[in-house]
């Protein structure tokens, strides 16, 4: 009952301050408020209505408070999510920057390594050119020596023949002293150049 009385008093004030209310109606509405409120101040009236609305779970004010509490909770939850997302974004950005720096360092190291590889390949090519000629020459010499060794082995495998008789005569003549007579065999006469 008390609550209905306060709501009626508030309704009288709403009519009094409405822009379409005529002057006579404003006076009537104010008089209605005075009779209904019975000398109660507006502050007390507001507190009383707030307390009554808070106690009543079905009142529009209680529903508004519940909705407001839900919105505040949702707002806090969304703010936490936004903060977490911004933190994660900042961390991802930092990781991307670190990865970019690392990629730049690796790229520079790769360029240095490529340069070193090019220099090494050039030196290897310079080394292979004379080495190829040397190894080719050594290979040919090795083949020549192998052929000579094989021929010497074949020659050693053949039986040794008795010295040829004219050479034996020449050898005997060379071994004789000049004061001894020849031993019946004649020394070959040396070839003399023909003169005309």
Q: Tell whether pTM > 0.75.
A: no
145-191 pLDDT, tens digit each = 888 888 877 777 666 655 456 767 777 777 776 666 655 545 445 55
173 burial (CB, 10 Å; 0-12 / 13-18 / 19+) is: middle
67-119 pLDDT, tens digit each = 888 888 888 898 899 999 999 999 999 999 999 999 999 999 999 988 998 88
| Unique residue bearing structure tokens 């050039």 | 122
The domain spans of the chain are 2-55
CB 172 within 8 A of CB 185: yes
Q: How many CA atoms lie within 13 A of 42 on its CB side?
A: 7
């Amino acid at each position: 009952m008390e609550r209905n009385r306060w709501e009626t008093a508030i309704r009288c004030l709403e009519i009094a301050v409405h822009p379409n209310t005529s002057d006579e109606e404003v006076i009537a509405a104010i008089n209605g408020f005075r009779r209904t409120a019975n000398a109660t101040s507006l502050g007390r009236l507001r507190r009383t209505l707030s307390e009554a609305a808070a106690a009543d779970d079905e009142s529009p004010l209680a529903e508004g408070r519940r909705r407001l509490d839900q919105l505040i909770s949702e707002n806090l939850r969304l703010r936490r999510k936004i903060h977490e997302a911004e933190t994660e974004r900042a961390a991802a950005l930092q990781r991307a920057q670190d990865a970019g720096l690392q990629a730049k360092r690796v790229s520079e190291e790769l360029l240095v390594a490529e340069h070193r590889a090019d220099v090494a390949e050039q030196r290897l090519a310079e080394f292979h050119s004379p080495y190829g000629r040397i190894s080719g020459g050594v290979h040919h010499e090795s083949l020549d020596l192998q052929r000579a060794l094989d021929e010497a082995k074949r020659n050693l495998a053949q039986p040794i023949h008795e010295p040829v008789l004219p050479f034996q005569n020449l050898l005997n003549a060379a071994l004789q002293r000049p004061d001894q007579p020849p031993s019946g065999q004649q020394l070959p006469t040396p070839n003399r150049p023909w003169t005309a």
